[in-house]
Amino acid sequence: MSHATSGRVLIIGGAIMGSFSAWALRKAGYAGAITVVEQDPTYQFSSTALSAASIRTQFGTPANIEMSLYAARMFRDIRLVFGEDADIGFRERGYLILGGPDQVAERVAAAEMQRAHGADIEVLGPDELRERFPGIDFGDVRIGTFGARHEGWFDAWSLLSVVRRAARALAVDYVHATVTAFETEGAAVTGVRLSDGQSLGCDFCVLAAGAWSGRLVAALGIDLPVVPKKRTVFAFETPFRLNNFPMLFDTSGLWVRPEGDGYIGGIQPLPEHDADADGDFVPQHALLEETYWPLLATRIPAMEQLRLQRAWAGHYEVNTLDHNGVVGPHDELTNLIFATGFSGHGVMHAPAVGRAVAELIAYGEYRSIDLSALGWARIRTATPMVETIVY
C-alpha cells in the first residue's frame, strides 16, 4: 500500500487500539494531522475499561505469540517507554492452562510451537502440578502448560490512560462524537460524518471501533464478521490462598485469577445464550450460581466458600470467522485500515497492532511483526485461520 509522512489520519475508536495506533504513528515520524474519534469520553462502556486485562503467549497462532511478547516486554519496562509516572501494575505471574487425557499430544505440540516463537512455556504433569499449586484438584488433569515469563495481568484503565496521555502530548486530537456515515470517492475513504454535524476528511482511515466495527462498515457494503458478545466478570472473596496463584484456565472453560485481596473470574455462556450484545451490559448473574461456582468448587474445593463482591459485563469484539484479529488495509478501499476483531485479546495485543498500523501508514509495509496473515484476504474469501486457544 502507499505510505505517507503527512496528511490526515482519522482513527475511529479512541480506546486502547485506537490510542496505541495514534501514539505509534507519531513515534514512527508521522507529522500530519491525527484525529481520534471516540463516542464515549468517559470510556464507561469501553471494552478496554471493562477488560480482565491479562496477557499470555499461549496461543495457537504465531502472530499472536509475537504480539504478546512485544507487549509483555513493553509492560515490564513501561516507565522507560512512557516515563516515570507510568504504572500499570503488571504482575508477571503466568497462565496455567489445564488439559485432560485427550489433550496431551495437542498441548505438547502447542507448547513446542510457542517455544519456537520465543515463548517460555513449561509442560507440567499431574504430580508437578500438585506440588507447585497445592489446593487445586488435578484429579482429571493430565497436562498443564504454564507461562514462566511474559504472561500475567495488569490494569487496563491505567494502560489506556498512559498511552492516551502520551498521544495527546504528541498533538493527537481526540474528538468525542459518533461516526454516522462514511464518505468515499473511487477506491478511498475520504472522510466521515459525525453525530455533531461535523464532517472530517482523511487520507487514511483506521477502524479501531472494537465490538461495533462490523456494524460501522456495513454501511460501506463491507461484511466484516465482528460482533459484540457479552462477557461477565465476577469479583469475589474466598478463604483460599496460594501465593503463586496464576491465571488459571480450566478444562471446563472457566478462568480465575487473583485481584487485590480476592479473585476475579468468568466463563462463556452456552451458545444458545450468547446472542449479540446490542448494548447490553447487565451481568449474567445466573452464570455464577448455575455454572461457574459449581465448576470452580470442583477444581478448587476451598473456593466453595465464596462471597460475591461485584460483577460487571463488557463486550468482546468477536470475529465469528476464526476468533483472530483483522489487521491491515481493505482490498478495494485501500486507505481503510482494520485494527479490530481480536475476540478478547485486543488489550494485550494493542501495542503491537498500533505499531503495525503505524508502519503501514508511515512506511507502506510491516517492518517489525509481519501481520499479513491477519489481513483482509482471509475475510474476503472466508478462509479462517482459527485461533485454537480462546476463553
Q: How many domains does the chain have?
A: 2
Domain check: are 160 and 30 in the same one? yes
Strands 307-319 and 226-237: antiparallel
Domain check: are 41 and 108 in the same one? no
Domain check: are 243 and 200 in the same one? no
Domain check: are 135 and 204 in the same one? no
Domain check: are 171 and 308 in the same one? no
C-alpha dihedral (106, 369, 378, 390), degrees to nearest 10:
40
Domain check: are 18 and 143 in the same one? no
Instruction: Note whether 220 and 330 are within 8 A (CB).
Output: no
Q: Give a yes or no: residue 73 inside a domain.
A: no
Instruction: Note whether 234 and 296 are within 8 A (CB).
Output: no
Domain check: are 330 and 300 in the same one? no
Domain check: are 302 and 375 in the same one? no
User: Any idea what the Cα angle at residue 59 is, between residues 383 and 61, rounded to 5°?
Assistant: 30
Cα separation, 340 vs 333, in Å, equals: 16
Q: Give me the domain span that covers residue 134.
A: 92-149+228-319
Q: List residues bridging with 174 in a β-sheet.
A: 36
Q: Give a yes or no: residue 20 inside a domain.
A: yes
What is the grid cell recorded at 361?
501508514
Q: Give a yes or no: residue 1 inside a domain.
A: no
- Of 278, 296, 319, the domain-final residue: 319
Cα separation, 361 vs 203, in Å, equals: 10
CA distances from 244 to 63, 92, 135, 146, 297 (A): 29, 11, 12, 12, 19
User: Hey, is 302 helix, strand or coil?
Assistant: helix
Q: Give a yes or no: residue 75 inside a domain.
A: no
User: Any idea what the Cα angle at residue 307 is, between residues 301 and 310, rounded to 5°?
Assistant: 130
pLDDT tens digit at each of 391 positions of the chain = 667 677 999 999 999 999 999 999 999 999 999 999 999 989 999 999 999 999 999 999 999 999 999 999 999 999 999 999 999 999 999 999 999 999 999 999 999 999 999 999 999 999 999 999 999 999 999 999 999 999 999 999 999 999 999 999 999 999 999 999 999 999 999 999 999 999 999 999 999 999 999 999 999 999 999 999 999 999 999 999 999 999 999 999 999 999 999 999 999 999 999 999 988 999 999 999 999 999 999 999 999 999 999 999 999 999 999 999 999 999 999 999 999 999 999 999 999 999 999 999 999 999 999 999 999 999 999 999 999 888 7
- Of 319, 335, 366, the domain-final residue: 319
Cα separation, 4 vs 204, in Å, equals: 9
Q: Give a yes or no: residue 206 inside a domain.
A: yes
Instruction: Note whether 373 and 385 are within 8 A (CB).
Output: yes
Q: Give a yes or no: residue 57 inside a domain.
A: no
Give the ranges where the chain is alpha helix by DSSP (H). Answer: 16-27, 62-76, 78-82, 104-116, 126-132, 156-169, 213-218, 285-287, 293-299, 346-363, 377-380
Domain check: are 193 and 170 in the same one? yes
User: Hey, is 336 helix, strand or coil?
Assistant: strand
Q: Give a yes or no: residue 301 inside a domain.
A: yes
List the CATH number of the domain containing 191: 3.50.50.60
Tell me the residue type at 116.
Answer: A
Domain check: are 314 and 337 in the same one? no
Instruction: Note whether 200 and 192 are within 8 A (CB).
Output: yes
Q: Give a yes or no: residue 60 inside a domain.
A: no
The per-residue pLDDT for range 335-373, each reduced to its tens digit, is: 999 999 999 999 999 999 999 999 999 999 999 999 999
- φ/ψ (deg, to 5) at 294: -60, -40
Domain check: are 178 and 124 in the same one? no
List the CATH number of the domain containing 303: 3.30.9.10
Domain check: are 119 and 242 in the same one? yes
- Of 319, 338, 372, the domain-final residue: 319
